[in-house]
Amino acid sequence: MAKQAKSISSRTTERKSARRPTHPGEIVRDIVLPELKLSVSEAARQLGVTRQTLHAILSGRSGVTAEMALRLGRFCGNGPGLWMRMQQAFDLWQAESRISDSLNDIPMHRVEAAE
């Protein structure tokens, strides 16, 4: 049985959500730390980062890097992938908000790729 080609464009042109995705730092600040009854200083110590580094993430001023995703994944016991996906969703939403007008000026080409 022959495999059908799948359109790449359907996977790369998702519609923008009206609601801003939650920054992963907000999850840590509002759910994780209160649940664990940890201060920012103690959580930073356990994560092996400075209080300032953790605070920048909790406030949304900094994003979760791959290294921080590894640390948070270990700390929360849920692996780094969740933290990276949350950061990616947040970053893509922000970028699309900034450049949505100019994106409409870029022509869309349909490329078929074999599975």
Structure tokens at 48: 């092996």
- Give pTM, 2 decimals: 0.79
Q: 22-99: which CATH topology? A: 434 Repressor (Amino-terminal Domain) (1.10.260)
> C-alpha distances in angstroms, 61 versus 16, 48, 54, 95?
22, 19, 10, 15
Q: What single-letter amino acid sits at 19?
A: R
Strand partners, 6: 113
Q: What single-letter amino acid sits at 2?
A: A
**From first to last of its 115 residues, what are the pLDDT tens digits of the chain?**
444 444 444 334 455 668 999 999 999 999 999 999 999 999 999 999 999 999 999 999 999 999 999 999 999 999 999 999 999 999 999 999 999 999 989 999 998 887 7
> What are the residue ranges spanned by the domains of the chain?
22-99
